[in-house]
A = this chain, B = another copy of it.
Amino acid sequence: MEDEVDRLVAAWRRERPDLDVEPLEVLSRVSRLARHLDRARRLAFAEHHLESWEFDVLTALRRAGTPYQLSPGQLLTQTLVTSGTMTNRIDRLAKKGLVARLPDPSDRRGVLVRLTDEGRDRADQALAGLLAQERAILAELSPAQRGELAGLLRQLTAPFDNIPG
């Protein structure tokens, strides 16, 4: 089955036969697929009355385990947004009662963001919905293919995640 990137690459080969556009076969697909996934996630979360950005923050806290709290800085590295964005997100989630801001007892510059009970429940429900949707998308691939794909992607993401970028 052909996809939009096949058409894109073919067009470049016609227009710029002097260039080697092979990198696009991988990385343009990654970007485009991510964009499609964003849209799909938005729909899935809407059923639980959550925005994607809310899900990202709530689940980061949920994964941290009891007592479900992290510093804004820790949330930054997990969600890949800037500090100003995170401040704004925490404000809005706090206003909705899904998280609470607490002073960090060990560093007076610091803050701890704690998930409320409602926040935890909402995160759990939305996660279940997301996994169901993602399973459907991945049904295109065999389990072995999924494992292979995960491994290849890990090789590309590891440098970004380990060398501060």
Contacts and interface: CB of A to CB of B under 8 A. Distances in A.
Nearest to A39: B165
Interface string A133-146: 01101101100011
Nearest to A8: B63
B131 A156 contact: no
A62 B19 CA distance: 14
A5 interface: yes
A131 B19 CA distance: 9
Interface stretch (A9-17, A83-91, A93-101): A9-17
Contacts of A37: 27, 30-31
B141 A152 contact: yes
Contacts of A50: none
A154 B27 contact: no
Interface string A62-78: 11110000000000011
Interface of A: 1-6, 8, 11-12, 14-16, 19-27, 29-40, 62-65, 77-78, 80, 124, 127-128, 131, 134-135, 137-138, 140-141, 145-150, 152-162, 165
